[in-house]
Amino acid sequence: MNDHHKGLTAWQLTMMALGTVVGGSFFLGSAVAIRTAGPSIIISYILGGILVYFIVFSLSEMTVADPDPGSFRAFAEKMYGPGVGFVVGWVYWTGLVLAMSSEATAVSIFLRGWFPGISLQILGSTIIIGVAFLNLLGADRLSKLESGLAVIKIAAIIGFILIGLSLIAGAIPGIPKVGIGELARESWFPAGVSGIAGSMLIVMFTYAGFEIIGLAAAETADPLKTVPRAIAYTVVGLVGLYVIAVSVLLPLIPTGTLSEEESPLVAALVRWQLGWAGNAINFVLVTAILSTMLAAMFGLGRIMRSLADEGHAPAWVKDSGNIPFRGILFSGIAMLIAFFLSFILPAQVYLFLVSSGGFSLLFAYVIILATHYKFRKKFGCPPNGKCQLPGFPYSSWLALGSSILILASMPLIPGQGAGMVAGLLLVFFYSAAYLIKKFYRSRVATESDQDRTKYLPAGLKTNSLQFEFSEELTSDDSNIPKDNKNIEQDSE
């Protein structure tokens, strides 16, 4: 990275994170979670926010100690070995590529309503090419664009809150006062504790995307100050916005009538004859998905560069400089291929593949927590003894156990069982691919060594092997963050 590169600020990093997180999963997908839990969905969003807090500050502790552009993938490799780094990176990259190809299809369907003369294939491919091109402009310019898009999305949520409060208070002429409305007629726990548990998967999807902060950390001027500040802004802002918005929604519409086919915010406003506001939110929904795709492409490019740097991806993908041009282009081409597969493969097969996206995100969070636990046990509080995650190791155990339970609950949620199966198949596929790669390289290296030492005396052959073995044993210090080499192993 160039020394003169100014770097992203905490505000830019926050807006990029919000651009990733606040997307279609909240504006549209949250309907399923709200219908499942009823009014107790508020508890689900608070619990989800607490879990996100633990995950994101676990990532932050590692990031400020070592702002590697590969973020959680690189940390996992340093703690658990190249096999884990290979599998985590490729599973996350593949899941995100498939998920974003699906988002491109969704946006194309929305846009075709406004441009009926243009085919879905042209609309979708244009969107993906545009998203890749904008990422080639660099993190600083992209963050400014993401800031604008994030402001639109946040303004839409705040606008809904203000209109909803006006309806509740009876401040809109011609519309009777709502008051506590549907809350007076609904059970707070219609499905008991199981309703809260069943909604947690979707709730976590609405929070997904904050890991972009870790991937962008290497492009900040001062990660030690910028990353924790950006994370605090993101977590507080997200949990506050989501909890308030859903709290305002609950009196306006019966939760049992919500459908994944329509945004719950739109449904609530349309029910009270405010269709114009609903149409505006539909426009914001398109903006939200495009914003998510932009930020996702940013992360995909960085993950691919990290994989290539470690020899886990084709050599021609390897790049240098602040902008991973080849990683972005490679990811964009992969997204285009995945998008066109939706028109070639049977619908059931394509949906099965795309559903792995949710698994990939949750899988990444489990890896972040497991990696951080080992990182903290090995190096103490990074950097220089400054802890960020409170309650370690108990908070880590709680967060890791909760994340695994949410991941294991996927088959219990309609439509998500396939996601778990597809995700596990990805893990198996890339594990096998790593073993094959390792075997092939080992065989090539062995043949090369044999050719090199073929004509050497026996004593020199032995010394050569001893030298290579000792060199491998002494190379482990490269995995230790520079700031932590003098930290006691357990500063708790």
Is the Cβ–Cβ distance between 163 and 251 less than 8 Å? no
Would you state the pLDDT for residue 491?
Answer: 39
Question: 135-139, 153-157, 396-400: which range is least confident on average?
Answer: 135-139
Would you state the pLDDT for residue 434?
Answer: 92
Is the Cβ–Cβ distance between 218 and 1 less than 8 Å? yes
Is the Cβ–Cβ distance between 410 and 416 less than 8 Å? yes
H helices of 7-40, in order, are 10-21, 24-27, 30-37
Domain ranges, ordered by start, for the chain: 10-484
Would you state the pLDDT for residue 439?
Answer: 85
Residue 332 has pLDDT above 90, yes or no: yes
Range 268-277 average pLDDT: 83
Residue 473 has pLDDT above 60, yes or no: no
Nearest to 375 by CA among 481, 303, 477: 481
Range 466-471 average pLDDT: 40
> Token digits for 125?
């491919």
Q: How far apart are CA 186 and CA 182, in angstroms?
A: 6
Nearest to 353 by CA among 406, 438, 419: 419
**pLDDT tens digits along 341-376:** 888 888 777 778 888 888 888 899 999 999 999 988
Q: Mean pLDDT highest for which of 134-138, 147-151, 282-286?
A: 134-138
Is the Cβ–Cβ distance between 149 and 294 less than 8 Å? yes
- Residue 482: which pLDDT band, with cuts at 50, 70 and 90? very low
Eight-class DSSP state of 29:
T
Phi-psi region of 116 (alpha: psi -120 to 50; beta: other; left: phi over 0): alpha
> What integer best gives the mean pLDDT of the chain?
81
Collapsing DSSP to helix, strand or coil, 119 comes out as coil
Centroid of chain to Cα 130: 21
Q: Mean pLDDT highest for which of 59-63, 143-147, 293-297, 349-353?
A: 293-297
Other beta carbons within 10 Å of 329? 18
Phi, psi of 33 (to 5 degrees): -65, -40
Burial bucket for residue 31 (CB in 10 Å: 0-12, 13-18, 19+): buried
Residue 401 has pLDDT above 90, yes or no: yes
> Token digits for 56?
């994101």
Percent of the chain with pLDDT over 90: 22
Architecture of domain 10-484: Up-down Bundle (1.20)
Residue 5 has pLDDT above 50, yes or no: no
- Residue 336: which pLDDT band, with cuts at 50, 70 and 90? very high
Q: Taking the chain, what is the end-to-end CA distance rounded to the nearest angstrom?
A: 34
- Residue 232: which pLDDT band, with cuts at 50, 70 and 90? confident
Would you state the pLDDT for residue 476?
Answer: 45
Percent of the chain with pLDDT over 70: 86
- Residue 334: which pLDDT band, with cuts at 50, 70 and 90? very high
**pLDDT tens digits along 415-454:** 778 888 989 999 999 999 999 988 887 777 676 666 665 5
**pLDDT tens digits along 306-327:** 898 888 888 888 887 778 888 9
Residue 2 has pLDDT above 70, yes or no: no
